[in-house]
Chain A
């Protein structure tokens, strides 16, 4: 399915659910990027911000993110720890889209489930997009 254009995004728009595996190699690469926290690899638990980061990237691939868009705010709730190797299904929808001067503020609701359909994370991301 081609990505939805930013102009087509409206409040209530639901993004297609996307799945991704948080394998040891994925988490290893994430930990290298954030510098340290190698204890997550030895304990076999996914860093909670990694779940959120991959969920947001998965959702952002469903629509054309205009160049120059920046992250303005973030809410996250970590509901259940996630073992490395878990396949996550994430879903999201547009909760708000408002124009403020030369910016659009886009608020996305995000939710992530583990392979047993238990919710492991929920949150809201606010993205500022130049008009």
Chain B
């Protein structure tokens, strides 16, 4: 993780290493305890069942953590101190879902001699529905 990728190893169109995770209510409860976010939509099954969502959903930041894991795997230290993302949470991730974080390199541009890698990123569930979509930029 201390390493930064070499620019010569990065190419437009390359796929980023996917991260696959299965979501359980136990994972969601653990995340609530770790983060302190006990919004009942995540942890109170009887409350969540009465909302339009019809049941509990995972924290958006939990699902986003899988995208960050993928970006760390791909870009190491450059992601930790030079990464930027902008995403929309399009659909809820629910207990029982299998979430795949994936991405690809859209372009590499240079600004004042510094290379920036532009990526499209997303997370999908096992039905192929997009849960998170957006973009990320990494300064190398």
Residues of A in contact with B (beta carbons under 8 Å apart): 26, 29-30, 32-37, 39-40, 43, 45, 47-49, 52-54, 56-57, 60-61, 65, 67-81
**A48, B79: Cβ atoms under 8 Å?**
yes
A57-B36, A69-B39, A78-B79 given as contacts; is B62 within 8 A of A33 (CB)? yes
**B35, A45: Cβ atoms under 8 Å?**
no
Residues of B within 8 A of A29 (CB): 33-34
Closest 3 CB pairs of A and B: A71-B60, A33-B34, A81-B80
**A75, B2: Cβ atoms under 8 Å?**
no
A interface, over-half SS:
mixed
**A73, B69: Cβ atoms under 8 Å?**
no
**B66, A34: Cβ atoms under 8 Å?**
yes
**A65, B31: Cβ atoms under 8 Å?**
no
**A48, B80: Cβ atoms under 8 Å?**
yes
**A35, B27: Cβ atoms under 8 Å?**
yes
**A67, B65: Cβ atoms under 8 Å?**
no
Residues of B within 8 A of A54 (CB): 35-36
**B61, A33: Cβ atoms under 8 Å?**
no
Count CB-based A-B contacts (< 8 Å): 110
For this complex, 27 residue pairs linking A to B, each with C-beta atoms less than 8 Å apart, are A30-B35, A32-B34, A33-B34, A36-B69, A40-B1, A45-B1, A48-B72, A53-B61, A54-B36, A56-B37, A56-B61, A57-B35, A57-B37, A65-B39, A67-B41, A68-B41, A68-B51, A69-B39, A71-B60, A71-B61, A71-B89, A72-B88, A74-B86, A75-B84, A75-B85, A78-B82, A78-B84
Residues of B in contact with A (beta carbons under 8 Å apart): 1-2, 21, 27, 30-31, 33-37, 39-41, 47, 51, 53, 57, 59-62, 64-66, 68-69, 72, 77, 79-89, 92
Cα–Cα, bound, A39→B68 (Å): 14
Min C-beta distance of B51 to chain A, whole Å: 5
Cα–Cα, bound, A47→B81 (Å): 11
Residues of B within 8 A of A43 (CB): 1-2
Contact of A33 among B27, B77, B80, B86 (CB under 8 A): B27
**B80, A45: Cβ atoms under 8 Å?**
yes
Cα–Cα, bound, A35→B2 (Å): 21
**A60, B83: Cβ atoms under 8 Å?**
no
A29-B33, A37-B69, A48-B83 given as contacts; is B39 within 8 A of A74 (CB)? no
